Structure 1
Amino acid sequence: MNDFERHFTYESIPEKPGEELGHPGMTIAFVGNPNCGKTTLFNAYTGANLKTANWPGVTVEGKEGHTTFEGFEVRLVDLPGTYSLTSYTMEEEVARSYVLSGDADVIVDVVDASSLERSLYLTLQLLALGKPVVVALNMMDVVRKRGMEIDIHRLAETLGCPVIPVSARKREGLQPLLHAAYHHKGVRHDPIQHEHAVDDGMPEKHEKYVMVYSPDLEQKIDAVRAEFKKAYPDVRNARWYATKLLEGDVSVRRDYPLELPVLEHSCEGQFIRERYDFISEIVAECVFNRSARAETTDKADRVLTNKYWSIPVFLLIMGGVFALTFVLGDAVKGVFEEWLDAFNGWVADGLDKIGASPMVVSLVCDGAISGVGTVLTFLPNIAILFTALAFLEDSGYMSRVAYVMDGIMGRLGLSGRAFIPMILGFGCTVPAIMSSRTLERMEDRRKVMLVTPFMSCSARLPIYVLFAGLFFDQWAGVVAFSMYVLGILVALLVLLVVRGRDKDPDAGGMLLIELPEYKMPDAHTVWIYVWEKVKDYVTRAGTVIFAASVIMWLLLNFGTAGYVDGDVAQSFGAWLGRLLVPVLAPIGSGDWRLAVALLAGISAKEVVVSSVSVLFGIGGASVGTAALHEALLAIGFGPANALAFMAFCLLYVPCIATIATIATESKSRRYALGAVVFQLVVAWVVAFAVYRVALLFLA
């Protein structure tokens, strides 16, 4: 038997399904490495509003969807991207727990066909579980483009499971893959016997395994397996657990302890080497015309991951994104403002005609429509921003940002992986906080939770668009972008300070991340991502922001004496705002209406904009026009005040949903409360500094 044959024996793939397929409905779990196209494939089947991104940790929890096959319902589960079934990170723990649970009838292992060497490591571990596995050989369009060839039949023979070529981006091979998964459900192959030499040449019979290790490792596996079956007779697949015990898997050793001399030292390194040796043999046997890494990717990375140029290029790219957001967004925004003004006037006229009281007209037009309408006018800016971010993510660039930041984060006691939640914070802070689960230590996770709210989420963009547009004209895009840079700098500075209090400041670990080849973003994936964000924004406008606008109107139109009939100074809102004025005056926001707007922003940051509209009595959608500009100038609010106000909105208390997420993820309400207080202090200090410096140049 040669070296290649030693590692596997042929197992035929049945042309027909097993005799007992169970009920026609089934559950399929999608498992694969990050960047293998797993979620794109999942979206192709379900049309689910899920995002794909080129870095680990985006999909931290499994997502579910449904499709049909031959008239029967099929439940699909998209598991987090993972490189192995060894529980080093939260993604790997979630993926392995689900696979071991037995909830899935069939496991679809999504493999990057253009990078089999990396992908097959997980495949071997999945096959070792003894569960029905179908390999989805994804990105076959990339393979064809490079002139590569893969002997799919030989690969299927080698692995002993169906291998189906697909292209998730081009929607190719979807039905054959579903057909293979459906007909592989419940299939149990007859074990095939083979021999390998142990005990001074005495042969010992073994059941057929896809991966057979060297005689030394097989002897250890046999010894541990025998004891494991005695200690845990009800646990299936004792060989897999024996292998994990020998690898020193923390979870398995905790849940299934065994006291054996052979387990005193971990054999993980030897297992890894032999698996990759086998993978090299598989690739040599099944892949032809292998090409080197794409030249365009190498050329681009010479600049984009360069030690000196990478960060300036990143800032330049993001600056371009925000310039585009303002130039195109403001052009469309004007049309939205005209429509909403017309709608507001039409509603007011209609209410007058039916004899509605002035209070009802004010509630509907000045409260609900003005508040919600103001936020909706920024929808073009939001859509353009997320289109640009989705393009960068799906092209493969954003993973380079985490790689580039690894050196800086290392000096702060963290790995580049910790920068990933901060990047995600540009979209929404809640999933960004949840993605901190990818970090192993709770200390590191809490550090990230502390500073991620300093990233400018999409909800803050309307604030920047409003105040930068009012006071900085053609420089509005630069000013708004400066807020994003300021958030990153403050976050890094806080991490530097916190690192000094860490008991083990160098325990942040190292970054393990793949730098995928650059590719043209998939239009369907970009559309799903943008649609999800736009839908969420509109939903918030119709729920949280609507409710907050109505509450704000009530606070401004009622006081201790009842309905104030336009005398806002006697309202409950004015009373609350005046309590905060002494605190906010030193940072240039000494008007009670601004204080109330900031207070309202705790529900959702977009509410700051709608509250300003209601508080200053600016009707319709004209909040971004001269009317509000004149009202603010009348109270002494100028460019320096606007800069400080934006800086405070950037850094002060995150929204209620984020606070609740921090409490949940940190497992401590006390920590969440402390984080809120800390963020308030940081926001005030930074806003004070910005205001004082800005007065020197913008007075």
Structure 2
Amino acid sequence: MSASAKEHLFALAGNPNCGKTTLFNAITGARQHVGNYPGITVEKKEGLCSLDGHTIRLVDLPGTYSLTAYSLEELVARDFLVHERPEVVINIVDASNLERNLYLTVQLLELGVPVVVALNMVDVAESRGVRIHCDELSRRLGVPVVPTVARRGEGKESLLKAAVQTSESGRKWEPLRLSYGADIDPTLQDMEQIIEEKGLLTDLYPARWTALKILEEDEQVLGKAREADPDLTQRLLSLAAKVITHIQKTLDSYPEAIIADHRYGYISGLMRQGIVEQRWRGDRLLWSDQIDRVLTNRFFGPLIMLAVLYGVYQITFTYSEIPVGWFEAAFSALGSWAESVLPEGPVRSLVISGIINGVGGVVGFVPLIFLMFLAIAFLEDTGYLARAAYMLDRVFRIFGLHGNSFMAFIISGGIAGGCAVPGVMATRTLRSSRERLATLLTAPFMNCGAKVPVLAMLIAAFFSENRAQVMFLLTLLAWIFALVLAKLLRSTILRGPSTPFLLELPPYRIPTFKGLMIHTWERIWQYVSKAGTTILAISVLLWALMAFPGLPEEKRAVFEKGRQEVVAGLPAEVRAPLLAGEDPASSDPAVIQAATALAELSRQEATEALKYSFAGRMGRALETFSRWCGFDWRTNVALVGGFAAKEVIISTLGTAYSLGQVEADQSLSLSQRLQQDPHWKPLTALAAMIFIMLYSPCFVTVTCIVKETGSWKWGLFSMAFNTTVAFVFATAVYQGGRLLGF
């Protein structure tokens, strides 16, 4: 950067679905950083761009309809404006919904921030026969207005130039003064004068704006005011109480409603002053409305939605199969190479079982996750997901959830597959903290991609003739359990009113390739960075629990004696290779029989070692409870491993049942082994599938729940609650089945 260059801080503000994020991506490209605001879960995006020697730091504020601070997003946006004091706020306004979008513009002007209006989607407005005179709108508002088409990147340079010019003009914060009617204005003026004289919060807000917030009983502003001067705040509240009482008696309303009415009145007046020109009229439906007649139809809509989601599932799992195979082959080759160069012992076991397999288990899912998120980003950017949430809101409200809970369930595995980690992250779109908690606590009940191989292995062993039907039944049960348990939570510890489902159905759009790639990459990076590091650590820990302390010396001596007895009498040249586990390359029946016997001894020793390991001891201790579900200690070891990651269950079952390490693609051999084991029966398998489907989320998901809620309390609650539910229902299935003679 040259000596004369200056870095500017600009903020992007706008309603949801106004094209704000698309414009942000068009301006910053790959030069952006995604994180969270400190201490909260609302996503924070920052990006850099350059213009004529100026470096611009652009902050994409959460999408919000107003600055009333009724939601976390509104509070975050408002706090950023008053605390960070950006030089300019670029307010993105949807030209095709101008009147509604200008409500946020008016509030920004009332706050006094320097504003540049980006009149976005002018092409959509023109396709509807609407022409907006930007110069006249700019003159009436007193701020620059620049037409843009964010999805094509049109107008972004003109917009940035206008923002830089506004910044360099040295414009101060000058609040817009509106009239709110004869009932409010006199008291508002008195309160403003008192606040100005006493300097109450004037370092943060304009005095008139603070008075408005006190009239609206804004909790955050009232809290700050009481902290600064409790006596003065009480005096102002007394003045406000008189107005509130008067408005309730005469108009049966509240100050915030009257204030909002006058804002919309101001906007309506603007619209009548030659700003908007309707070039043609007619009662024909817009093409997006015509599509919605079919896609949101009460009968056809849900059927089409199921077909679309099934298509996403098919695309994801069909086209990810080959690249997933490449990843598996690459990590298998890496494991073989490590086995060839590292001497036998704990270090080789740690590197192969703990590190390579741990990382491979996560990275191997990247092609699947990529395709899933690409498909979801496409549906989201086209506007279809908003329709799906709209259709399901009525169903979800019965269970105390919100229409937007739908996406969290789908991403978590609403159709077999998916991942609970991004599903939990998807709850950020929910405004009500209670609905959000109920959603993120029940989303892990869905059959994620890590559970599917385990369920498929058990189905192959005991329900091979009805595989599709059983998997469909388990998917249906996952939804039933999630919704019913959400209702239980919303009726008890998360009791509270449901929030209204206010959702704008955006017009259908064709997504841009760049936008899709950015959205998909953001989610992939979150998955790899958050899941990869945690699973690696857990894999190493699990390896240690299953490897140590090992067999007691006397037990090891028994197995060694057995090996010596097996090779006794064999020629000396084959004894050493046999004892070393090598292929003696002999066709002698005695040598082949000895090799088989030695392999069986090794399997038995591995089982005993596991039994004496920390994990094995834990599994045996849990048999007191698990026998009610029909699980023995070996199954318990696998289920304990599943607390770390559900993918681990198959490999741990393989080890526990003397099969060695068994990968997901080798599940058929494990299926056959379980089928032949006298302990396992179809009833046991059904109870196990119910338990695996419902019990504690994997550790990565629990960590994500902690990060999203800001408290370990909810992460621990999720582990305890889900496992209790799983135990109760698995016990009911197993014991009920026994009583019925199954």
Q: TM-score, normalised by structure 2?
A: 0.75
Partner of 1:133: 115
Stretch deviating more after TM superposition (64-73 or 675-684): 64-73
Partner of 2:609: 570
Give the drift of 1:402. 2.9
Stretch deviating more after TM superposition (386-395 or 403-412): 403-412
The 5 Å alignment of 1:480-491 reads 483-491=474-482
User: Which residue identity does 1:279 align to in structure 2?
Assistant: I
User: Which residue identity does 2:498 align to in structure 1?
Assistant: G
Structure 1: unaligned runs, 5 residues or longer: 1-21, 53-57, 192-206
Give the drift of 1:478. 7.0
Of 286, 291, 294, which residue of structure 1 is paired with 2:275? 286
CA contact (8 A) 1:587 1:644 kept: yes
Quickly say closer, same or farther: Cα 1:459–1:168, change in 2 above 3 A. Answer: farther
Q: Is 1:41 aligned to 2:29, yes or no?
A: no
Of 220, 227, 233, which residue of structure 1 is paired with 2:194? 227
User: Which residue identity does 2:23 align to in structure 1?
Assistant: L
CA contact (8 A) 2:47 2:57 kept: yes
Give the drift of 1:123. 0.7
Q: Is 1:242 aligned to 2:211, yes or no?
A: yes
The 5 Å alignment of 1:57-206 reads 60-185=42-167, 187=169
Quickly say closer, same or farther: Cα 1:649–1:310, change in 2 above 3 A. Answer: farther
Quickly say closer, same or farther: Cα 1:161–1:425, change in 2 above 3 A. Answer: farther
Q: Is 1:600 aligned to 2:637, yes or no?
A: no
1:65 is paired with a residue whose SS is: strand
Q: Is 1:262 aligned to 2:243, yes or no?
A: yes
**Which structure would you say has the larger RCO, counting Cα contacts within 8 Å and 6 or more residues apart?**
1
User: Which residue identity does 1:392 align to in structure 2?
Assistant: L
Give the drift of 1:341. 3.7
CA deviation vs aligned residue, 1:263-300 (integer Å, no higher than 9, x gap): 54432222222322332343453233477896343233
1:82 is paired with a residue whose SS is: coil
CA deviation vs aligned residue, 1:563-601 (integer Å, no higher than 9, x gap): 978624223133233333454455465461x43333233
Quickly say closer, same or farther: Cα 1:27–1:293, change in 2 above 3 A. Answer: farther
Determine the C-alpha separation between the residues in 2 that align with 1:86 and 1:417.
Answer: 21
Quickly say closer, same or farther: Cα 1:503–1:614, change in 2 above 3 A. Answer: closer
Partner of 1:9: none
Quickly say closer, same or farther: Cα 1:63–1:431, change in 2 above 3 A. Answer: farther
Q: Is 1:528 aligned to 2:495, yes or no?
A: no
Quickly say closer, same or farther: Cα 1:254–1:559, change in 2 above 3 A. Answer: closer
Give the drift of 1:435. 6.5
The 5 Å alignment of 1:421-570 reads 421-422=408-409, 425=412, 429=420, 443-456=434-447, 460=451, 463=454, 483-501=474-492, 507-539=497-529, 543-561=533-551, 567-570=606-609
Determine the C-alpha separation between the residues in 1 that align with 2:32 and 2:687.
Answer: 37
Quickly say closer, same or farther: Cα 1:428–1:341, change in 2 above 3 A. Answer: closer
Give the drift of 1:110. 1.6
User: Which residue identity does 2:617 align to in structure 1?
Assistant: W
Q: Is 1:651 aligned to 2:694, yes or no?
A: yes
1:543 is paired with a residue whose SS is: helix
Partner of 2:568: none
Quickly say closer, same or farther: Cα 1:59–1:281, change in 2 above 3 A. Answer: farther
1:496 is paired with a residue whose SS is: helix
User: Which residue identity does 1:596 align to in structure 2?
Assistant: V
Determine the C-alpha separation between the residues in 1 that align with 2:425 and 2:361.
Answer: 30
Q: Is 1:385 aligned to 2:352, yes or no?
A: no
1:107 is paired with a residue whose SS is: strand
Determine the C-alpha separation between the residues in 1 that align with 2:668 and 2:510.
Answer: 42
CA contact (8 A) 2:188 2:212 kept: yes
Quickly say closer, same or farther: Cα 1:391–1:444, change in 2 above 3 A. Answer: closer
Give the drift of 1:82. 0.8
Q: Is 1:252 aligned to 2:221, yes or no?
A: yes
2:320 is paired with a residue whose SS is: helix
Determine the C-alpha separation between the residues in 1 that align with 2:387 and 2:644.
Answer: 34
Partner of 1:683: 726
CA deviation vs aligned residue, 1:357-399 (integer Å, no higher than 9, x gap): 3554444445543444355444433332222222222222222
CA contact (8 A) 1:382 1:458 kept: no
Structure 2: unaligned runs, 5 residues or longer: 226-232, 248-253, 557-601
Stretch deviating more after TM superposition (677-686 or 480-489): 480-489
Give the drift of 1:125. 0.5
User: Which residue identity does 1:114 align to in structure 2?
Assistant: S
User: Which residue identity does 1:268 align to in structure 2?
Assistant: E
CA contact (8 A) 2:697 2:718 kept: no
Determine the C-alpha separation between the residues in 2 that align with 1:585 and 1:303.
Answer: 52
CA deviation vs aligned residue, 1:311-344 (integer Å, no higher than 9, x gap): 4443343233223333333344444444444444
CA contact (8 A) 2:422 2:523 kept: no
Give the drift of 1:59. 8.1
User: Which residue identity does 2:621 align to in structure 1?
Assistant: L
2:58 is paired with a residue whose SS is: strand
Determine the C-alpha separation between the residues in 1 that align with 2:224 and 2:700.
Answer: 35
1:185 is paired with a residue whose SS is: helix
1:98 is paired with a residue whose SS is: helix
Partner of 1:197: none
Quickly say closer, same or farther: Cα 1:643–1:189, change in 2 above 3 A. Answer: same
Give the drift of 1:85. 0.6
Determine the C-alpha separation between the residues in 2 that align with 1:314 and 1:494.
Answer: 24
Of 28, 35, 48, which residue of structure 1 is paired with 2:10? 28
CA contact (8 A) 1:64 1:78 kept: yes
User: Which residue identity does 2:148 align to in structure 1?
Assistant: V
Richer in helix (by share): 2
Quickly say closer, same or farther: Cα 1:608–1:232, change in 2 above 3 A. Answer: farther
Quickly say closer, same or farther: Cα 1:478–1:299, change in 2 above 3 A. Answer: farther
User: Which residue identity does 1:525 align to in structure 2?
Assistant: G
Partner of 2:312: 321
1:602 is paired with a residue whose SS is: helix
Determine the C-alpha separation between the residues in 2 that align with 1:589 and 1:570.
Answer: 20
CA contact (8 A) 2:131 2:277 kept: yes
Determine the C-alpha separation between the residues in 2 that align with 1:283 and 1:478.
Answer: 58
Of 350, 370, 373, which residue of structure 1 is paired with 2:360? 373
CA deviation vs aligned residue, 1:162-190 (integer Å, no higher than 9, x gap): 12222222222222222222221164559
Quickly say closer, same or farther: Cα 1:281–1:27, change in 2 above 3 A. Answer: same
Q: How many residues align?
A: 651
User: Which residue identity does 1:552 align to in structure 2?
Assistant: L
Determine the C-alpha separation between the residues in 2 that align with 1:283 and 1:363.
Answer: 70
Determine the C-alpha separation between the residues in 1 that align with 2:700 and 2:363.
Answer: 21
Partner of 1:348: 339
CA deviation vs aligned residue, 1:415-454 (integer Å, no higher than 9, x gap): 4455565456556656655676776765555434432332
1:601 is paired with a residue whose SS is: helix
2:507 is paired with a residue whose SS is: coil
1:654 is paired with a residue whose SS is: coil
Quickly say closer, same or farther: Cα 1:502–1:70, change in 2 above 3 A. Answer: same
Determine the C-alpha separation between the residues in 2 that align with 1:472 and 1:280.
Answer: 65
Determine the C-alpha separation between the residues in 1 that align with 2:732 and 2:363.
Answer: 32
Determine the C-alpha separation between the residues in 2 that align with 1:527 and 1:406.
Answer: 29
Give the drift of 1:130. 1.4
Give the drift of 1:457. 5.0
Q: Is 1:403 aligned to 2:381, yes or no?
A: no
Give the drift of 1:77. 1.6
